[in-house]
């Protein structure tokens, strides 16, 4: 859904993506598989997951992407804190950082906001955090997330995002897409 409502929605030949919660690198890998455009990907994660733990999850087999296994390994092997080329069209910067410490400005076209849910970590679904996300996006940039809670939507609107509620796939959660509308 991050792909359909985010990656495919942003109409550009090259795109910068910020992932909030790099975790196991699954969204990063799927983005690499599906991109069809040049991607500058930044994954922020305060608690990096060990490569051995990630391998146990068997993503490559589940995604039937055995021919891309070396790329999945490369995502996990490259060092943190510097931009690394995974393919000529896909660069990755893994940053060990708390979300509240993000200071990028007008840089990203797209944010995958994949933090744990508001029930688990309410402090991550606040105006303070969305203000940081708003600043990090370029004008017309979008943030997508799995949550359609009214309180989350209101926190986004309070920092000037234009917010749409999007249906999830059958039986799945709805999503929100927040756009940094320029000129507001
Ligand atoms: C839902 S998981 C992300 C899953 C990930 N997108 C993937 O593809 O595997 C949320 C992630 O946010 C990280 N996290 C939680 N609080 C954080 C914070 N305040 N700053 C940075 N990372 C945080 C967690 O360690 C976890 O990996």
Best of 44, 47, 98, 124 to mutate for ligand 1, by most ligand atoms within 8 A of CB? 47
Give me ligand 1 centre to Cα 23, in Å.
5
Q: How far apart are CA 174 and CA 158, in angstroms?
A: 21
Share of the chain above pLDDT 90, in %: 79
Other beta carbons within 10 Å of 21: 19
Domains of the chain as residue ranges with CATH: 1-180 (3.40.50.150)
Is the Cβ atom of 45 under 6 angstroms away from ligand 1? yes
pLDDT at position 172 over 80: no
Other C-beta atoms closer than 10 Å to the C-beta of 102 total: 19
Q: What global pTM score does this model have?
A: 0.95
Element (H, E) at 19: strand 14-20
- Please identify, by atom number, the ligand 1 atom nearest to the C-alpha of residue 124: 19
Ligand 1: which atom is nearest the Cα of residue 116?
1
Rounded to whole angstroms, the Cα distance separating 163 from 142 reads 10
Please, are residues 32 and 75 in contact by the beta-carbon 8 Å criterion? Answer: yes
pLDDT tops 90 at residue 5: no
Q: What is the mean pLDDT of the chain?
A: 93
Sign of CA dihedral 39, 49, 66, 2: negative
Tokens 């994954």 belong to 43
Lowest mean pLDDT among 12-16, 55-59, 165-169: 165-169
Q: Is 2 in the pocket of ligand 1 (CB under 6 A)?
A: no
Looking at the chain, the number of H-run helices and the number of E-run strands are 7, 8
């Amino acid at each position: 859904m991050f792909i359909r409502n985010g990656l495919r929605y942003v109409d550009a030949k090259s795109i910068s993506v910020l992932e909030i919660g790099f975790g196991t690198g699954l969204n990063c890998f799927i983005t690499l598989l599906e991109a069809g455009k040049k991607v500058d990907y930044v994954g922020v994660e305060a608690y990096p997951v060990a490569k051995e733990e990630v391998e146990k999850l068997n993503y490559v087999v589940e995604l039937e992407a055995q021919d891309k296994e070396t790329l999945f390994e490369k995502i996990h092997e490259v060092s943190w804190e510097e931009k690394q080329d995974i393919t000529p069209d896909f660069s990755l910067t893994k940053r060990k950082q708390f979300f509240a410490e993000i200071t990028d400005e007008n840089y990203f076209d797209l944010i995958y906001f994949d933090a744990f849910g508001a029930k688990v970590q309410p402090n991550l679904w606040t105006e303070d955090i969305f203000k940081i996300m708003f600043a990090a996006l370029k004008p017309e940039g979008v943030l997508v997330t799995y949550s359609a809670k009214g309180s989350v939507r209101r926190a986004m609107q309070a920092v000037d995002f234009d917010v749409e509620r999007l249906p999830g796939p059958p039986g799945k959660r709805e999503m929100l897409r927040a756009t940094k509308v320029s000129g507001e």
